[in-house]
C-alpha cells in the first residue's frame, strides 16, 4: 500500500564527481546550480572529499535509505528526524542521492562540530549549518538563521528534539520546526526515522562500531491553517514514529 524507493548508492560512491557544469541537471537547474557553485562544496579539494566522506559514513553505518510515500526530489524540504547519535546528521546527509545531497545542509550544534580542527573540517565538507545553542540572540534566532541560509535553493536536515536521546526513545519536539514551517510555508516538511545509529556510535564513545542501520523517509507534511503549536509538534512527532514499523 505504500510507495517504496530504496536508494542505490554504489554507483554514486564508485564514480568521481563531475565538474559542476555537468554534474547534475534538474528542473531547478538555473537557480540551484548557480548557488551551489558558490558554496564550500564547489572548491576542488572539497569535491574530492565529499564522495569519500559520504562513502565512509555509509560504509561504517551500513545505512539503507527507504522512501515511503515520498520520492527523491531536489525541491526545498526540511528533513526532520529523531536524534540518538552524533552520526545522525552526517549519515542521513551521506545517504541522500548525490543531486539532493548537493543542495541539503544539515543543521548541527556548533558547540560539538566547532570543537577541534577535524570536526570543523568535516562540518565544512558536508556544508553543515552550525547553530550556537548557548548564545541565541533575539533578532537572530535559529529559525531566522535557517531561513536565511537556505534562501530559495537549499534544503535542511533538522532534529526537533534539540538534543540526542539517552535511551533511544524519541522525545518531545521543540518549537523550532513549528516556527520554521510558519515562516516558510513553501517548504515540504519531511519526516525521517533513523534506526540503530545509537548503537553504531553509542553515547560517550568516539569510534563507531560497524553495524547495519536503516533510514526511512516518509510523506511530507505542512503546517495546517489555524493549527496550534502543540498540535503540530505532536503530529510531526507521530509522523516520525509511524515510520518505525513501516
pLDDT of residue 45: 43
| Cβ–Cβ under 8 Å, residues 127 and 105 | yes
**What does pTM read for this prediction?**
0.74
Q: How far apart are CA 56 and CA 121, in angstroms?
A: 15
Instruction: Choose between 109 and 104: higher pLDDT.
Output: 104
Q: What's the CA gap between 138 and 150, in Å, rounded?
A: 20
DSSP 140: B
What is the length of the chain? 246
Q: What is the pLDDT of residues 211-220, one digit of tens each?
A: 567 899 999 9
pLDDT value at position 13? 39
The pLDDT tens digits of the residues spanning 38-79 come to: 444 444 444 446 666 666 666 665 678 999 999 999 999 999
Q: Please measure the distance between the N-terminal and C-terminal CA atoms of the chain and give it in whole angstroms.
A: 11
Q: Which of 2-11, 78-87, 161-170, 209-218 has the highest mean pLDDT?
A: 78-87
The neighbour count for residue 156, using CB atoms within 10 Å, is 21
Of residues 193, 7, 174, the one with CA closest to residue 101? 7
Amino acid at each position: 500500500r505504500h510507495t517504496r524507493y530504496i536508494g542505490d548508492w554504489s554507483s554514486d560512491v564508485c564514480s568521481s564527481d563531475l565538474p559542476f557544469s555537468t554534474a547534475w541537471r534538474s528542473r531547478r537547474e538555473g537557480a540551484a546550480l548557480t548557488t551551489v557553485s558558490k558554496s564550500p562544496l564547489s572548491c576542488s579539494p572539497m569535491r574530492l572529499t565529499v564522495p569519500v566522506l559520504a562513502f565512509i559514513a555509509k560504509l561504517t553505518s551500513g545505512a539503507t535509505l527507504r522512501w515511503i510515500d515520498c520520492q527523491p526530489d531536489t525541491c526545498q524540504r526540511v528533513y526532520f528526524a529523531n536524534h540518538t547519535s552524533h552520526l545522525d546528521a552526517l549519515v542521513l546527509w551521506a545517504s541522500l542521492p548525490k543531486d539532493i545531497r548537493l543542495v541539503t545542509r544539515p543543521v548541527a550544534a556548533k558547540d560539538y562540530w566547532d570543537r577541534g580542527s577535524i570536526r570543523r573540517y568535516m562540518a565544512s565538507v558536508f556544508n553543515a549549518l552550525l547553530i550556537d545553542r548557548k548564545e541565541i540572540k533575539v533578532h537572530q534566532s535559529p529559525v531566522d538563521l535557517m531561513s536565511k541560509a537556505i534562501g530559495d535553493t537549499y534544503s535542511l536536515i533538522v532534529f526537533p528534539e534539540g538534543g540526542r536521546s539517552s535511551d533511544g526513545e524519541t522525545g518531545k519536539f521543540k518549537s523550532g520546526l513549528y516556527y520554521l514551517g510558519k515562516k516558510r510555508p513553501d517548504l515540504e516538511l519531511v519526516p525521517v526515522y533513523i534506526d540503530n545509529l545509537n548503537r553504531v556510535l553509542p553515547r560517550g564513545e568516539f569510534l563507531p562500531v560497524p553495524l547495519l542501520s536503516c533510514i526511512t523517509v516518509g510523506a511530507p507534511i505542512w503546517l495546517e491553517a489555524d493549527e496550534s503549536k502543540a498540535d503540530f509538534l505532536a503530529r510531526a512527532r507521530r509522523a516520525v514514529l509511524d515510520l518505525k514499523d513501516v
